[in-house]
Structure formats: C-alpha cells, structure tokens
Amino acid sequence: MSLPSPVDTEPEPTVALDPSGSRGRTVARVVGVRLLHAVAVVAVAYTASFLLLFVLPGDAVLARIGTTDTVGNADLSGMQLDSLRAEVGLDASLGRQYWSGLTGLARGDLGSSLINDRPVTALLGEALPNTLTLTGLSLLFSVPLGFLLALVAVVPRSRAVRSLAALLPSAYVSLPVFWIGVLFIYLFAITLGWFPSGGSQGAASAVLPVAVLSLLGAAQFAQVLISSLRAEVGKTYAAVTAPAKGAGRAYTVFRHCLRNAAFPFLAVFGLRVGALLAGTAVVEVVFARNGIGRLMVESVRAVDLTVVLGLVVVLALVYVVINTLVDVGYALLDPRLRRMAPVRSGGES
Amino acid sequence: MTATAVRPAETLTPSEPPEARGPRRRLRELHVHLALLAALVAIALLPSLIATHDPLALDGRPFTAPGGTYWFGTDEIGRDLYSRVVHGLQISFLSAALAVLVALVLGALVGVLSGLRPGGVLDRVLSVLTEAVMAIPAVLLALAAITAYGRGAYIAAVAIGVAEATGFARLVRGLMLQSQSLVFVEAARTCGTSPFRVLVRHVIPTVYHPVLSYTAMHFGLAMLAIGSLSYLGFGEAPPSPEWGVLISGGQKYLVHAWWVALIPGIALTAVVVLLNRIANLLQEGRS
C-alpha cells in the first residue's frame, strides 16, 4: 500500500554483535535479542489495539443481539444485557479483560467471537490459508518480475528503454489497488471473458487477483532495486574497477552489483509484508474471495471486537516474524555484519 | 577486423543521476506541478467552481454514456458523474490532508524526541512503540479505529495519519542524527547556543527538504488508503461522492456502464501521480 521510502531502504541492524564470538554463538545472540524485541513489539501492538478497541463508546453486546435472533429485542431489560455481557466476558474490569487477553495470547488463545461464539483462532484458521496462498503466489511472481524490471531499468545501453522500465513501477504504485482489480474485471472477465470475475472456486478464479497483487509487489520491489542498483553502478568498483579489468556492462551488474543491491531489497521485503497482506485483503473483497479480507469487513461491520483484535495481533505477528527472519538473514548472509558489529544508534546514516 | 578492437570498453555511466536534467528545467517543472496542485486545492475547497451539475440531483437519464452534456456520463440514477467526481475531490483531498498533517506533526515530534539522545531510554521506548505501530498495516489500524468510533473518512484519516507517522518518525530521527555532525551545528553548540535554538535555527532548516518530499509522497498514499477504506464501505456513506464510494458503487454496473466505476479511479490515479511527481522533483532538488 505504500511506496518504498528513503528510510525504509536502509537496513537497520538492531543488534551489536560480539566481534570475538564464533559465528554460531553470534547468530544465537542475534536471534535471542531479536526474539525479545519481537515479543515486546507484539505485546505493544496488542496493548495499543486493545486500548483503541475496548475503551470505546459502542456496545458489542447490542451489536450481538442485533445480528443473532436468539433474544427477542423487543423486551430487553438491563438484566438480560448484563447477563449477556457476563457471558462474553465484557462485564469484567478493563484491567481483567486486558490481562486475560494477554495471557490468552501467550497461550495461543485469542478468545471467541462476540457475534457467534466461535473461537477467533478457528475463524482465522479458516480465513488465513486462503489469504496466505494468495500472498505467497503473488510473491512467487513478483520477486522475479521485480528483479527483471530493475535489470531492464539499469542494464540496457538505450536510455529510452531504461527510462521506460524505471517509469513503469512508479506509475503502477500510483494506481489504487482496488481500482486495478475493478479494471481487470472489466477487461479480462467482462470484455474478454477469459477468467471469472470473482469467487474462490478453482484455479481460474485466482488468476486475476494474483495478477493484480504480483504486479503491485513487483512494482514496489523494482522501485527499491532500481534505486539501490543505480547507486551500486555508480560506485568505484562497478564504474572504474570492473571496466578496467575488462568486464562488460551486464556482467558487472549481474556478478557484482546485484548482490550488493539485494540487501535493501531484503529490508523492504520485510517491511512490505504487512502492507502486502492488507492489500491482499482488499483485493479479496474486490474479487469476492474467501479470506481475511471478508472476515475483516464482516467483523468490523458487526463490531466484533475480539475478532478485529485477533486480526490485528495475527497480522502484527506475521510482520514481526518475517522481519525477525530478515534480520537474522542479514547476519547469516552479509559477512561484513558478522565482523563489524554495527551499533544501533549509527544504523541509519 | 580492427573495428571492434578500437571500440572503447563498455563502461557503466558513473554516478550519472537517473534523470539528469538542468536545475532550471527542474525548477520550471516543479512550478508547473505546484500550479496544478494549487488548482486542485482551489477545486477541493470550492468544487462548484468547475462542476456543471448538482452532484446529488437526479437530472439525467440513468447510464448516459460520457458525452457533450454529461462529460463523464451519468450513474445508475442519473446523477452527473463529472460533477460527482469534482465534488468527491473535496473529501478525498481534505481527509488525506488531515492524515498527512497528523502523520507529520506526530512523526516529527517522535523523531525529534528520539533523535535528541540516540540510544537513550526514550529513544528505545519510542522505537519499540514505532515498530509496534508499523507492524499493524495502516488499513487495519484504520479499521480498528472505525470499529471503535464509527465509519467516516475523517476518522479513517486520523488513524492512517497515526500509522504513517512511523515513517516520518524514522526519517526525522535519521536526519537528526546526520545533522548532529554538521560543522555549523557543532560550531553553534560549541558557542554555547541552547539545544532548542540549535534545533530551530540550524537543524530544522537543513532537514525540512527531504521531509517535504516525503510528505508529498505520503499525501498520495493517504489518498489511496482512504480510497480503499471507502471502497470497503468504511469511509463516507453512499450518497457521498467520495471516489472510493463511487468506484465500489459503480462495480455492480460494470457490465452496462464501465465509466461509473472506472473514471473516478482515473481521477484518483491522476492526483496521486501528480503528488508523486512533486515528491520526486523535490527529492532530485537535493542531490
């Protein structure tokens, strides 16, 4: 949903590594510190959304009665409402609710829906695989496509080709993703009739949403790669040393620049995952597919606080897990990070 | 036979800016874009200036194709789409402006506070807070706010502003760190200038440029995010001509009348492209 920004492209090593430690121990320390940090981030995200959702003017119990017909809503006395509140645990003090929610989170229990009493984990378990499949498929296409676009924007000698390839990604990220979905439905489902316009049945129904999302991902990745590749190409080793030893343009980019340029890409890859999941949810709604998009829209509409909270926490968890993996990946992949022990405060320069 | 040998070795153009253009040409281009933006602001504040019809009046035949009287055609109950798009700019533009304002103020505050003593307790606490907000996608944070406080483009805008503030905070913090080593900042500090005065007189003037560029870019992103929320049905309510509402309303009639859903999207794209161009031109001005 958002463009790669100058700050995002900078990998921020968050841990000071032990310069004398063996590789295995260093990595273990990185993992340990990162895990602690990750737990703190998820706990804070949970707390923030709990405060946002549960200190609120609306009444989830009234919303619940409005959506289920178990109680006649003509003669509701205060007592019945109170007993209903007690039933779903909304009568306890905010502190108690918060604490039981947080301990439940640690056990992997997200409570149950205020609307239909089903456990939130079960609802998410039904919705999440569809969404993750969609996101995973689009990543599968968007990463190579992003690399391809970036190479076309840097390698060819023709300036026109390079400019065009650099223009495409920045133009695509200016398009509203839901509107591209509508446009694709109009072009490929209604006018050409190649693919179904929506639904979740069969592989054909996934083609258009995957296309919309992988183009979006490719455009975002290409933007980052283009700017970091351009910076690499201008550095001495690529601009002077490589030509001096007789290496060709394409060889230099492939053999030398691409590796160095891949690190900002890795950072952005982690940071974009949350936005990509949210984008997937929106695209699911456009194409009327089952997944967290539908769950999200339905639970917000029904003021189903626990499900919304569960969604926030699970997406935050996915984000944190991926970014922790990316950070650990740095330490594993980049020999300089293992040796030099970067300091947190100097990370962004 | 020797022709290939004389040819100079293929070299990569060293550090040539991607779109090198003269500073004068860049400035002219920036002025043209800013004039367009000013026109958009004028339309957003006074949409009736260029609207041809009442955006809510049912004065045409339903689904008239784009043409002479109805430039963008009419929708399912005969409202003029052109006037609706023009009036919709107001909500999209002003709510996005609110989002960016919240992001800028909050982000700058957090960034400056954590940049004052890098690595300090405050910096660490703020960095965990920032990352926690970053972990929640902007659209989902806005949906949580809407669950709590009800639907509306402006509620969504504040939530998106809070979500986007994280990027501003990181940017400002980084710039603060960079500026600490600038010669004149060090000189001012050596002279015994108060930290506040150093910040206001020396640091802020050097860092506002990238912040401005980042703001322009995030203005466009906020418009897209608010459009998505309205499309999902959590922004403005249907009679409103907000662009996301127009697109989701028009999607049902895509088979007979493509223009109802597709034209507002083109308008939204055009505004976002304009804002991104301004952001790029400002960015290029730095290097």
pTM comes to 0.78
Which CATH topology does B94-286 take?
MetI-like fold (1.10.3720)
Comparing A6 with A133, which gets the higher pLDDT?
Answer: A133
Average per-residue pLDDT for chain B? 79
What is the model's pLDDT at position A295? 86
Q: Are A211 and A183 in contact (CB under 8 A)?
A: no
Q: How far apart are CA B173 and CA B210, in angstroms?
A: 12
Say which residue the tokens 């695509």 belong to: A172
- B243, two tokens: 């662009």
Residue A211, in any domain of the structure: yes
Q: How far is B80 from chain A (nearest CA, A)?
A: 20
Average per-residue pLDDT for chain A? 73
Q: How far apart are CA A156 and CA A218, in angstroms?
A: 19
Relative orientation angle of helices A159-172 and B258-286, to the nearest 10 degrees: 120
What is the model's pLDDT at position A13? 45
User: What stretch of H or E contains A172?
Assistant: helix A159-172
Comparing A327 with B228, which gets the higher pLDDT?
Answer: B228
For residue A174, the chain B residues in CB contact (below 8 A) are 220, 269, 272-273, 276
- B247, two tokens: 């697109």
pLDDT in tens, B188-242: 888 888 878 888 888 888 777 888 888 888 888 888 888 888 888 887 777 777 8
Residue B193 falls in which region: left (phi positive, over 0), alpha (psi -120 to 50) or beta:
beta
User: In this complex, is the C-beta atom of B116 within 8 Å of any C-beta atom belonging to chain A?
Assistant: no
Q: Is B96 buried (19+), middle (13-18) or exposed (0-12) by CB count in 10 A?
A: buried
pLDDT in tens, B231-263: 888 877 777 778 888 888 777 777 777 777 788
Residue A226, in any domain of the structure: yes
Residue A80, in any domain of the structure: no
Q: How far apart are CA B265 and CA B271, in angstroms?
A: 10
What is the model's pLDDT at position A114? 72
Tell me which residues of chain B, numbers 205 to 264, contact chain A at a CB-CB cutoff of 8 Å: 210, 214, 217-218, 220-221, 224-225, 227-228, 231-234, 244, 247-248, 250-251, 254-255, 258, 261-262
User: What stretch of H or E contains A124?
Assistant: helix A120-154
pLDDT in tens, A276-299: 888 888 888 888 888 888 888 888
Residue A15, in any domain of the structure: no
**Single-letter amino acid code for the residue at B29:** E
Mean of pLDDT values over A86-90 = 61
Q: How far apart are CA B64 and CA B259, in angstroms?
A: 10
Q: How far apart are CA A157 and CA A175, in angstroms?
A: 29
- A119, two tokens: 């456990």
pLDDT in tens, A311-323: 888 888 888 888 8
- A173, two tokens: 């990220």
pLDDT in tens, A98-111: 777 777 777 777 77
Strand partners, A306: none
CATH number at residue A145: 1.10.3720.10
pLDDT band (50, 70, 90) for residue A17: very low
pLDDT in tens, A251-284: 777 777 777 777 777 777 877 777 788 888 888 8
Q: How many CB atoms lie within 10 A of CB B42?
A: 12
Contact A278 B138 (CB under 8 A): yes
Q: Are B222 and B135 in contact (CB under 8 A)?
A: no
Give me the domain span that covers residue A327: 29-66+86-338
How remote is the C-alpha of A24 from its chain's centroid? 29
Q: Are B238 and B249 in contact (CB under 8 A)?
A: yes
Residue-range domain boundaries for chain B:
94-286
Q: Which residue of A has its CA nearest to B231?
A: A178
Comparing A77 with B71, which gets the higher pLDDT?
Answer: B71
DSSP states along A291-346? SHHHHHHHHHHTT-HHHHHHHHHHHHHHHHHHHHHHHHHHHHH-HHHHHH---GGG
**A45-49, A242-246, B17-21, B69-73: segment of lowest average pLDDT:** B17-21
Strand partners, A119: A112
3-state secondary structure A31-87: HHHHHHHHHHHHHHHHHHHHHHHHCCCCCHHHHHHHHCCCCCCCCCCHHHHHHHHHH
Confirm whether the ipTM is greater than 0.85.
no
pLDDT band (50, 70, 90) for residue B287: low
Comparing A72 with A174, which gets the higher pLDDT?
Answer: A174
Q: How far apart are CA B55 and CA B39, in angstroms?
A: 20
Find, among A150, A143, A335, the residue nearest to A253 by Cα.
A150
Find, among B53, B60, B38, B37, the residue nearest to B87 by Cα.
B53
Q: Are B155 and B230 in contact (CB under 8 A)?
A: no
pLDDT in tens, B57-113: 667 677 666 777 766 677 777 677 777 878 888 888 888 999 999 999 999 899 888
**Single-letter amino acid code for the residue at B171:** L
pLDDT band (50, 70, 90) for residue B29: confident
Comparing A23 with B257, which gets the higher pLDDT?
Answer: B257
Confidence check: pLDDT of A75 > 50:
no
Mean of pLDDT values over A196-223 = 81
- Return the residue in B147, B168, B229, B260 with the most chain A beta carbons within 10 A, the one to mutate for interface testing: B147
Residue A229, in any domain of the structure: yes
The strand ranges marked E within chain B are: none
Strand partners, B74: B80
Q: Are A46 and A320 in contact (CB under 8 A)?
A: no
Q: Which residue of A has its CA nearest to B233?
A: A297
Q: Is B286 buried (19+), middle (13-18) or exposed (0-12) by CB count in 10 A?
A: exposed
Mean of pLDDT values over A133-146 = 88
Query: What's the domain count of chain A?
Result: 1
| Residue A119, φ and ψ in degrees, nearest 5 | -60, 140
For residue B217, the chain A residues in CB contact (below 8 A) are 3, 5
pLDDT band (50, 70, 90) for residue A83: low
pLDDT in tens, A159-205: 888 888 888 888 888 888 888 888 888 788 777 777 777 766 777 77
Residues present in chain A in total: 349
pLDDT band (50, 70, 90) for residue A91: low
Q: How far apart are CA B265 and CA A184, in angstroms?
A: 13
Say which residue the tokens 């709590």 belong to: B148
